[in-house]
């Protein structure tokens, strides 16, 4: 029987950013990710990337590296195609730690699809569809954000995502300045990253409705499902769950409380593709469209996200722009950005992305075999 795991390589994956990235709950100056390479006895391998955005997931690069050693030891001698069994074993060993689990999940799916000789979207039971990402504007002055928005419009974007969640009056001025700069017709998607309370959220959302805002992500704290539902009930703008939604258990609770209009699925937050499929199934049954989002993944992680989005028609919004902030692109193969915003998936087996060997040689490596 083929596909037995004999070796796992774990990399500290540091990718410099063009400039610091600021959202309501923190700032990052570098993409501090991890990479896992799961190798079988036939020398087939699968690659997975995790992006531990610590202020959201409660994991760091160092904690993921430590956890990954244990996960790698558990997987020795197991088969890559036993995705259900392998991930259940990791869950039984250690609760939560979703970003680290997502890294192994992605590598297992990549390796299993390669063993099947199928591109990942096909292995997941889907086909290709058009995927067009938005582009994000991070928190700054209204004037600077308006300038960024105009540049994005001129690059041909179909939608702009705007980070908010600071002082309500300043947030209103940010959206006003952006809309005045870009004119009408280009939808805005705002993301407060838990930065408001109930009163502030409703006030801001009522004030910015006239600026053609498509939806608002996570207006209140991640744990505050009750006020999330209250915001939705009083907001003229649809509400999307992000930090409130880690797993399918959260998805079910959000549906029961009628708290949101949309779900934002992120592999580094959900534990990977396996749980993301469950979240999407619950959303589809409840009539809730989904978006696929990202943390600070390279184009490798984005490629796996795009395969999932392509395979599921209920995923209709795409926020897969994290590589735009990276100073370098060390990924070989994988999905490519056409006309800046359109993602084209490869038809090679697995997700089709890898890292350049010279880049990985510079990264700290841990081997378990």
Distance of CA 9 to the CA centre of its chain: 23
Nearest-5° angle of CA 138, CA 164, CA 205? 145
**Residues ≥6 apart with Cβ < 8 Å to 275:** 98, 105, 247, 248
Query: How far apart, in whole angstroms, are the C-alpha atoms of residue 290 and residue 262?
Result: 6
SS3 per residue for the chain:
CCCEEEEEEEEEEEEEEEEEEEECCEEEEEEEEEEEEEEECCCCEEEEEECCCHHHHCCCHHHHHHHHHHHHHHHCCCECCCHHHHHHHHHHHCCCCHHHHHHHHHHHHHHHHHHHCCEHHHHCCCCCCCEECCEEECCCCHHHHHHHHHHHHHCCCCCEEEECCCCHHHHHHHHHHHHHHHCCCCCEEEECCCCCCHHHHHHHHHHHHHHCEEEEECCCCCCCHHHHHHHHHHCCCCEEECCCCCCHHHHHHHHHCCCCCEEEECHHHHCCHHHHHHHHHHHHHHCCCEEECCCCCCHHHHHHHHHHHHHCCCEEEECCCHHHHECCCCEEECCEEECCCEEECCCCCECCEEECHHHHHCCCEEEEC
Find the catalytic residue in 37, 114, 161, 266. Answer: 266
Find the catalytic residue in 37, 101, 114, 163. Answer: 163
Q: Is 128 a catalytic residue?
A: no
Nearest-5° angle of CA 257, CA 262, CA 265? 105
Q: Is 18 a catalytic residue?
A: no
Query: How far apart, in whole angstroms, are the C-alpha atoms of residue 219 and residue 192?
Result: 5
Could you tell me which residues are annotated as the binding site? 191, 217, 242
Could you tell me which residues are annotated as the binding site for Mg(2+)? 191, 217, 242
Instruction: Just list the catalytic residues.
Output: 163, 266
């Amino acid at each position: 029987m083929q596909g037995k795991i004999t070796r796992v390589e774990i990399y500290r994956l540091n990718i410099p950013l063009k400039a610091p990235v600021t959202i309501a709950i923190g700032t990052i100056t570098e993409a501090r990710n991890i990479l896992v390479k799961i190798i079988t006895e036939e020398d087939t391998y699968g690659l997975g990337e995790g992006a531990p955005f610590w202020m959201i997931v409660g994991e760091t690069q160092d904690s993921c590296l430590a956890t990954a050693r244990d996960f790698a030891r558990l997987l020795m001698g197991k088969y890559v195609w036993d995705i259900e069994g392998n991930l259940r074993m990791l869950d039984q060993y250690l609760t939560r730690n979703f970003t680290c689990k997502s890294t192994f999940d992605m590598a297992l799916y990549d390796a299993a699809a390669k063993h099947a000789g199928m591109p990942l979207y096909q292995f997941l039971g889907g086909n290709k569809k058009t995927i067009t990402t938005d582009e994000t504007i991070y928190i700054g002055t209204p004037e600077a954000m308006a300038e960024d928005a105009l540049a994005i419009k001129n690059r041909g974007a179909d939608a702009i995502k705007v980070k908010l969640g600071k002082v309500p009056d300043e947030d209103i001025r940010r959206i006003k300045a952006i809309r005045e700069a870009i004119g009408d017709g280009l939808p805005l998607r705002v993301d407060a990253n838990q930065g408001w309370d109930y009163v502030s959220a409703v006030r801001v959302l009522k004030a910015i409705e006239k600026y053609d805002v498509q939806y608002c992500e996570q207006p209140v704290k991640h744990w505050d499902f009750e006020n999330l539902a209250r915001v939705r009930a009083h907001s003229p703008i649809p509400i999307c769950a992000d930090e409130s939604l880690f797993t399918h258990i959260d998805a079910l609770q959000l549906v029961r409380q009628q708290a949101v209009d949309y779900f934002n699925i992120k592999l580094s937050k959900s534990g990977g593709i396996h749980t993301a499929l469950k979240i999407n199934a619950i959303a589809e049954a409840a009539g809730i469209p989904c978006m696929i989002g990202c943390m600070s993944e390279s184009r490798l992680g984005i490629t796996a996200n795009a395969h999932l989005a392509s395979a599921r028609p209920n995923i209709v919004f795409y926020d897969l722009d994290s590589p735009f902030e990276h100073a370098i692109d060390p990924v070989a193969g994988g999905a490519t950005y056409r006309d800046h915003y359109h993602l084209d998936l490869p038809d090679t087996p697995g997700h089709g992305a890898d890292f350049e060997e010279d880049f990985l040689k510079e990264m700290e490596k841990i081997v378990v075999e």
